[in-house]
Structure 1
Amino acid sequence: MKIVHFADLHIGVENYGTIDAETGLSSRLNDFLAVFDELVDYSITQSVDLVILAGDVYKARDPSQTHQREFAKRLSRLSAHSIPTFVVVGNHDLPNSTNRATAVEIFPTLHVDDVYIGDNLQTTLIKTHSSPIQIISLPWPRKGTILSRDETRGLNIDEVRLELEKRLTRGIEIQADKLDSSIPAILVGHVTVNGATVGSERSMMMGNDHILNVSSLQFPAIDYVALGHIHKHQIVRQGPPMVVYAGSLERVDFSEEHDEKGFCVIELDPNQTSGTRVTKFEFKPVKARRFLTIDVEVEPNTLDPTNHIVNSITKLSIDGAIVRLRVKIPSTLYGLIDDRIIRNSMSDAQYIANITYDVVSERRPSLQLSPSDGITPEKALNSYIKNKDSIKDFETEFLEAALDVIKTVNDQTL
């Protein structure tokens, strides 16, 4: 059986985007939907048995109707081809009150075919084309649903977190003990695991993070652990079972500039025993929007700093990229910058995030000369020129002109 695992869809992220005049929608919304479409198209053409979304469907707790519509459209395409989708609830999917519904609860409420929502630590049995499969869901943990006020009274934050992690570990163990070892099993979680390399999800956090040990997810009856929440794709443990963060489908900001984006494809053999069922694992890249940082340093002896910056930009391929430009420039040359020309040279970019200038004040060496040193004006001038980097290239011409001025002044005072 073939399974697709992805995470952190974050429909609704619209930073670094523009509004389409015809549709009124953000260009970044189109980016996120385009990579989601790649995944859906692959799942249909490859006749996968199951699609797993390991949390964070939306960017916000209260997604707009448009965002909900676009997500539902794509689940409907999968459902029309009898491909079940399992979604575990992430921290961005949770309301700020325990009594309010999550944005994804609408699917089980309407009894939408082939869409399963994991909003509790529980096990769900799903029938697929190839074989039934057991899914343990580990949604983003909410303290209020796991620990009562009486249980946390008198505990500090670290003690509460430790107790919460103990409860989660015990809860996973209870579910794992109930698994039928003759049926494939996957744990789907939206959590942070010890040893994972974090990314921009730190800046998108909606509360405290809870960290589980990898050992908390390792049970003989579990064939694969599909994780979300960390945006960087990584294999935390080779297994068995494999513990994998799919990573986000689309880049959120420049901290993910160099991260490859995509989804995981897992092939299982239901006829094998637990621990030996995974026969193939593959990461499928998608055409995520490119982010590009351009760093330019302008030397003090640069005659045309604007032209130097433009030349540095045009050497690179920026077509369709979200670009930021960072320029380091001496304060003596900053006034020569033509920002309009620089922006025009970046017109092929999808979006110019920002242009920043690190203006460096030139160090002025103190010569500390006095008449008692016996230094003539000519010698003092020569010493000044040799310590001035910005005029070293035309030192002789400058010195000759300055000496002419000194001579003229001396002649007039005689």
Structure 2
Amino acid sequence: MLIMIKVLHFSDIHLGSGFSHGTINPKTGLNTRLEDFINCLSLCIDRAINEPVDLVLFGGDAFPDATPPPYIQEAFAAQFRRLADANIPTILLVGNHDQHSQGNGGASLCIYRTLAVPGFIVGDNLITHKISTKHGQIQVITLPWLTRSSLLTKSKTEGLSLDEINQLLIKALEPVLEEEIRKLDPNLPTILLGHLMVNRARFGAEQFLAVGRGFTIPISLLIRPEIDYVALGHVHKHQNLNPNNNPPVIYPGSIERVDFSEEKEEKGYILINLKKGEVKWQFCPLPARPFLTIKVDISQADDPQTALVKAIEKKTIDNTVVRVNYQIRSEQLELINNSVIHDALKAAHSYTIRPEIISQLSRPRLPELGIGKSLDPIEALKTYLDNQEDIKDIKEDMLEAAQLLLNER
């Protein structure tokens, strides 16, 4: 009877991100958001050691860029060293943020290979690694973030559109990946570990963080009977791109919220039990710092400050990163006492306040032009012009000009 191999899969740590949403902890001298990221990373490592798992897979993007400050590198290394001390094999895949902007190498992770950290593998090329664990052997294909220069010469891409280059890259990748798959041992459990944008994926914040232009890979390249589990990184939103789980194609998502685009996303990692032909996986949530947007229109309120404070008091903001966006008329600004608003937000971890001044020239929406109303273009224009006192003198001229344009279609 084959014993299940236990694997922990997580990705997109981005250690050193989101400092604008934190403050300096006077006890440590560190940004509190850095401490949040370290805490979530530590919990992932804790779980790996306490289970214990047989293998850890990191899906790429350790830092926001390839040259993080030394103290952030040290924080990362201090956590991953615990895996080496526990004799847990670990693969560090190179993501787009781990590479220099030119795409030449995974500078932020390759030091682990240079230092020959026991049990650590840096996945910076497309190759299969056969790993011996306490419960048997497993093979892992590493597919790092690919740039056009890694698969194509400059002469082949010159003058082509991004879509044309994308198609060329896929054609170049297919035979290389196929060659690796054909070399697999059919008797060993197999994982493909890739830092990729797959065509079925729904973006999280990575669309705002992307360094350079990558390309989108069709999921058909990854759904293969030879592969038992596809472990992905790059997209910050947790999702399974192949719900029938044959094989599971999983983005665990990032381990902490990078910004407000991830406000409603749950963060965590994946725990996997597999043997050849059988896999079970579960998403394990992490206590990521909550983010909250409070959006309120106080432009029609008789007492705008009270209305704003009440909107804040309705929300749970303790230890939360908060942004308050409120709409207000310019003549109401003097009715807002900022110290009162700051006091109402003092329980938050951090906060920003952004008033939006509503133009005095704005008009209420016309019900005649609302959704579901059917008017021909001239009638719609006439309804609009009837409500615009400042241009009533040229109303007839505008209607005539519009009719001429419609007649020429």
User: What is the TM-score of this pair, normalised by structure 1?
Assistant: 0.83
Aligned 8 A contact 2:45 2:83 in 1: yes
For 2:278, the equivalent position in structure 1 comes to 277
**1:4 is aligned to 2:8:** yes
Query: Does the CA contact (< 8 Å) of 2:105 and 2:124 recur in 1?
Result: no
Answering whether residue 260 of structure 2 is matched by residue 254 of structure 1, we say yes
Distance 2:316 2:352 in 1: 16
Q: Distance in 1 between matches of 2:103 and 2:296?
A: 50
- Cα pair 1:52 1:85 within 8 Å, conserved: yes
Secondary structure of residue in 1 paired with 2:185: coil
User: Could you say what secondary structure the match of 1:237 adopts?
Assistant: coil
Q: Is the 8 A contact 2:66 2:106 kept in 1?
A: no
C-alpha deviation, 1:41, in angstroms: 0.8
CA deviations on 1:14-53 (whole Å, 9 max, x unpaired) are: 2312222343321111011000011111111110111111
Match of 2:270 in 1: 264
Q: Which amino acid aligns with 2:278?
A: R
Question: CA offsets per residue over residues 42-97 of structure 1, 9 Å max, x none?
Answer: 11111011111111011111011111111111111111111111111000000134
Asked if structure 2 preserves the Cα contact closer than 8 Å seen for 1:329 and 1:360, the reply is no
Deviates more, 1:280-289 or 1:158-167: 158-167
Contact 1:172 1:217 in 2 (8 A): no
Do the aligned partners of 1:334 and 1:359 also contact (CA within 8 Å) in 2?
no
1:61–1:103 CA contact under 8 A, matched in 2 = yes
Distance, in Å, in 2 between the alignment partners of 1:277 and 1:113 is 29
* Deviation of the 1:100 alpha carbon: 5.8
Unaligned regions of 5+ residues in structure 2, if any? 365-409
Instruction: Quote the Cα distance in structure 2 between the aligned partners of 1:364 and 1:118.
Output: 58
Q: Any idea what SS the aligned residue of 1:306 has?
A: helix
**Partner residue of 1:375?**
none
Contact 2:54 2:89 in 1 (8 A): yes
Measure the CA separation in 1 of the matches of 2:82 and 2:360.
Answer: 59
SS in 1 for 2:186: coil
Equivalent residue in structure 2 for 1:26, among 31, 52, 62: 31
RMSD: 1.8
Q: 1:338 to 1:124 in 2, by over 3 A?
A: same
1:76 aligned partner: 81
Please give the alpha-carbon distance, in whole angstroms, between the structure 2 residues aligned to 1:262 and 1:145.
31
Amino acid at match of 2:6: K
The alpha carbon displacement at 1:122 in A equals 0.6
Asked if 1:46 corresponds to 2:51, the answer is yes
Q: Given the two structures, how large is their TM-score scaled by the length of structure 2?
A: 0.84
Aligned pairs for 1:328-367 within 5 A: 328-361=327-360
Residues 315 and 155 of structure 1: CA distance in aligned 2, closer, same or farther (over 3 Å): closer
Aligned residue in 2 for 1:191: 196
Structure 2 counterparts to residues 187-336 of structure 1, below 5 A: 187-238=192-243, 239-268=245-274, 270=275, 273=276, 276-278=277-279, 280-298=280-298, 300=300, 302-336=301-335
List runs of 5+ in structure 1 lacking aligned partners: 366-414
State how far apart, in whole Å, the 2-side matches of 1:142 and 1:62 are.
19
State the alpha-carbon separation in 2 of the partners of residues 15 and 172 from structure 1. 41
Letter in 1 for 2:107: T
Q: Secondary structure at the match of 2:145?
A: coil
Shift of 1:145: 2.1
Q: Deviations over 1:251-282 (max 9, x none)?
A: 011110000000011111x3xx4xx320x211
Structure 1 residues 356-386: Cα deviation after superposition (integer angstroms, max 9, x where no partner): 3343537689xxxxxxxxxxxxxxxxxxxxx
1:365-380 → structure 2 map (5 Å cutoff): none
Q: Counterpart amino acid of 1:263?
A: Y
Q: Residue 320 of structure 1 aligns to a residue in which SS?
A: coil
* Structure 1: distance between partners of 2:308 and 2:107: 49
Cα offsets for 1:292-330 (capped at 9, x unmatched): 001222252x33211221122112110000000011224
SS at match of 1:264: strand
When structure 1 is superposed on structure 2, of 142-151 and 132-141 the one drifting more is 142-151
The 1-side partners of 2:269 and 2:127 are apart by 24
Q: Which residue of 2 aligns with 1:407?
A: none
SS in 2 for 1:258: coil
User: Which residue of structure 1 aligns with residue 184 of structure 2?
Assistant: 179
1:101–1:37: structure 2 CA closer, same or farther, 3 Å change rule? closer
Aligned positions, number: 358
Equivalent-residue separation in structure 2 for 1:41 and 1:260 (angstroms): 19
Amino acid at match of 2:184: L
How far is the alpha carbon of 1:108 from its aligned partner? Answer: 1.0
1:325 and 1:97 map into 2 onto residues whose CA distance is 38
Measure, in 2, the Cα distance between the counterparts of 1:186 and 1:86: 12
User: After the TM superposition, which of the residue ranges 18-27 and 66-75 deviates more from structure 2?
Assistant: 18-27
> Matched residues in 2 for 1:154 and 1:252: separation?
36
Equivalence map 1:47-126=2 (5 Å): 47-97=52-102, 102-126=107-131
SS in 1 for 2:12: coil
Contact 1:2 1:265 in 2 (8 A): yes
| Rounded Cα–Cα distance in structure 1 between residues aligned with 2:187 and 2:241 | 26
Identity of aligned residues (%): 39
Note closer, same or farther for the CA distance 1:319–1:177 as it changes in structure 2 (3 Å cut): same
Deviation per CA, 1:195-243: give whole Å up to 9, x if none: 1100211111111121000001122111000001110000001331111
Q: Which residue of 2 aligns with 1:158?
A: 163
CA distance, structure 1, for counterparts of residue 106 and residue 234 of structure 2: 20
Kindly indicate whether the alpha-carbon contact (under 8 Å) linking 2:269 and 2:285 is maintained by their aligned counterparts in 1: yes
**Paired residues of 1:140 and 1:191 also in contact (CA < 8 A):** yes
